[in-house]
Structure 1
Amino acid sequence: MKYYLFLILFSFSNSLQSQKLNNNLVLKQCRKEFNKKICLSDEDKDGILFYEDKCPKEKGFTENKGCPWPDQDKDGVIDKDDACPEVAGSSENNGCPWPDTDGDEILDKDDQCPTIPGLVDHYGCPTPFRRDCKAEEQKDSLAIIKLRNDYKDIDQIYNQLNKKIFDSFFKKYKIKDFALYLEFIDWDIHCDLPGCCPNWKYMKYNFLISKFWNRQALESYYDRKNLQYIMFSTKLYPDLIPDFKEFAGTSLYTYLIKFYKENTNRILISKNLNDKNSSLVNVRLYFEDPFKIRVIASCNHSCGNSDIRYEYNGKIWNEITQ
């Protein structure tokens, strides 16, 4: 082992000496043509000295011997990263132009009928394009069934993050009495024709948010002495209650329905609504995937706000640096 380590150190030392010797030879050659001041200057301010710079008047890169990387087609994507270096294209398409297979001047990436010439108003199709909404809903239904099976116990993992979020947020801003306003299930969905309106029961976000604000998590907040109330962002209309019961599951539904207010169609988990000095903390979640979540928390009374992304590594939740 010591022998191999010696060989590695010996080779590395020889490499450094060889590089230093080569640099000295290049500098010596430069000084035959120019003076020392010129050879050690850096006119283009690229950090590469004149005697080593193949393009001393143009700012360049060490990896390219002091020269700028070429861009033959002038599309802003340098040749070494350009899949089509001689034809101007888009950086999003690796420097190549977007294809238009049917020649209707609607790029394939925006064309609902990429092999059939069509019209802009018809999304690239010759006649108004009608999506099979029933087929899409069936596909979404199968996807949510799989999601529910794959992540049926994810609420226990989310409870770790729940505690981490509020312990750090409350400690940082020294919040005492508080109320919670939570972004919850989104069933007030708007969409534009000719698209298909998604069914709220088959949306990934709705399933994950119901697992995040699970019964155990809500009860833990309710048990805190300094909590005033918990209010949810969306209203629960009477005609939605049967579907919501099936969607949320018995445990969460049984707990929430106790706090349902028929006069406002809201679920309000309350203790004391008269304390105007409490801080109202608003929490929104964005699920990049089930184990990668962006959490935005803010509150009134100018107590502060946070915007943090978390990722679960199989054991604990860690903050992701931007």
Structure 2
Amino acid sequence: MKKISLLLLLAGACFHAQDIENKATFKKNDCTEYWEKAGIRFKKFKTDYADIESVYDKINKLALDAVIKKGYAKALTNKKTYLYIKYINNIAYLDQHSCYDGTDPEYNFLISKFWNKNVLEYARKKYGKDIYLSTKIPPEDLKLYQEIGISNETFDYIAKYYEPETMKVKIPGNHTSEIGAAHSIPFVITFITPYQIKVEDPKTNIIILYEYKNNNWELIKE
């Protein structure tokens, strides 16, 4: 079961700039080859962007602070407020005519590097709010997520706060939050490319674009 889950996790589209190759022509019994090719692409992707975490360490705290400053300065005074981070994507859907299951291992790799231990601990200490990661992870599959490319340090950190009952990661703050849209501060990161990101808050329609050039992150749109 774990082997199948891992294959499904690593299967998916190549990075957004690439086309999903003829997904409609695949049938269930063709998927072994599809998964093998997807695994090879993903392995190369991880190698090509092996140092991306240090690049994201130059922007993740800034992006976090920017969203809160623009839309939630007053909300921070409410003890019920919590941070909600869109995290790793699980299998999105099943289509009997296609091997593509809606997952995106490249996105999962990048998002695990962006929301790493450094920025999560920074957010916990600075804002004192509960932090929820969106992904629901069955206990038996928790270790499989390390195969995505999460660093050992970050994996150990989120595993420490993993709650088997809810199957989610909750990093506790100074006060008990109240779950609900009215009290959430959501963060959605979209990777246009690994070096160009969109930081978004769907509640307040905040959208900020950053691009990495000449070893620095530049604000493109705010």
Q: Does 1:292 align with 2:193?
A: no
Determine the structure 2 residue equivalent to 1:317: 217
Distance across 1 between alignment mates of 2:112 and 2:207: 21
Matched, 1:144 2:42: yes
Is 2:204 aligned against 1:307? no
Aligned partners of 1:129, 1:215: CA distance in 2, in Å?
A: 39
C-alpha distance after superposition, 1:45-97 (max 9, x if no partner): xxxxxxxxxxxxxxxxxxxxxxxxxxxxxxxxxxxxxxxxxxxxxxxxxxxxx
Deviation at 1:275, TM superposition (A): 5.1
Work out which of the residue numbers 62, 65, 69 in structure 2 matches 1:164.
Answer: 62
Match of 1:220 among 101, 119, 122: 122
Cα distance change on mapping 1:143 and 1:129 into 2, 3 Å: closer
- Provide the TM-score with structure 1 as the length reference: 0.53
Query: Is 1:184 the counterpart of 2:84 in the alignment?
Result: no
Q: TM-score, normalised by structure 2?
A: 0.74
Shift of 1:273: 4.5
Q: Following TM superposition, by how much is the alpha carbon of 1:315 offset from its aligned partner in structure 2, in angstroms?
A: 2.1
- Aligned partners of 1:279, 1:264: CA distance in 2, in Å? 19
2:165 is the alignment partner of 1:263: yes
In structure 2, C-alpha distance between the alignment counterparts of 1:199 and 1:145, rounded to whole Å: 19
- Residue by residue, what CA displacement relative to the aligned partner does 1:150-172 show, whole Å, maximum 9, x if unpaired? 21221121122212213323333
Instruction: Report the counterpart of residue 209 of structure 1 in structure 2.
Output: 111
* SS of aligned partner of 2:57: helix
Cα 1:314/1:193, change in 2 over 3 Å: farther
Distance 1:256 1:210, change over 3 A: same
Contact 2:199 2:209 in 1 (8 A): yes
Structure 1 CA distance for aligned equivalents of residues 35 and 177 of structure 2: 45
Q: Determine the C-alpha separation between the residues in 1 that align with 2:97 and 2:217.
A: 41
- Residues in 2 aligned to 1:280 and 1:273: alpha-carbon distance in whole angstroms: 14
**Cα distance between partner residues in 2 of 1:170 and 1:268:** 19
Cα 1:196–1:156 shift into 2, 3 Å: same
The alpha carbon displacement at 1:279 in A equals 5.0
Give the deviation of 1:255 after TM superposition. Answer: 0.5
Q: Aligned-pair distance for 1:298?
A: 4.5
In structure 2, the CA distance between the partners of 1:130 and 1:266, relative to structure 1 (3 Å rule), is closer
**Closer, same or farther: CA 255–197 of 1 in aligned 2, 3 Å:** same
In structure 1, runs of 5+ residues without a counterpart are 1-111, 113-122
Inter-partner Cα distance in structure 2 for 1:140 and 1:314: 31
Instruction: Provide the residue aligned with 2:6 in structure 1.
Output: none
Alignment of 1:270-285 (within 5 A): 270-274=172-176, 280-285=184-189
Counterparts of 1:290 and 1:312 in 2: how far apart (Å)?
A: 9
Q: Percent identity?
A: 29
Shift of 1:305: 3.8
User: Equivalent residue of 1:287, what SS?
Assistant: strand
* Structure 1 equivalent of residue 156 of structure 2: 254
Kept in 1, the 8 Å contact 2:82–2:177? The answer is no
TM-fit CA distance, 1:282: 0.4
User: How far 1:290 moved relative to its partner?
Assistant: 0.5
Q: Any idea what the Cα deviations from partners look like across 1:116-173, whole Å, max 9, x if unmatched?
A: xxxxxxx7xxxx8647322221111111111111212211211222122133233334
Residue type matched to 2:123 in 1? Y
Equivalent residue number for residue 47 of structure 1: none
Q: Matches of 2:163 and 2:26 in 1, distance apart?
A: 44
SS in 2 for 1:223: helix
CA RMSD of aligned residues (A): 2.6
Give the match's secondary structure for 1:160: coil
Query: When you count strand as a share of all residues, which structure comes out higher?
Result: 2
Aligned residues: 190
Q: Which has the higher contact order (CA 8 A, sep 6+)?
A: 2
Distance 1:152 1:230 in 2: 27
Q: 1:129 to 1:181 in 2, by over 3 A?
A: closer
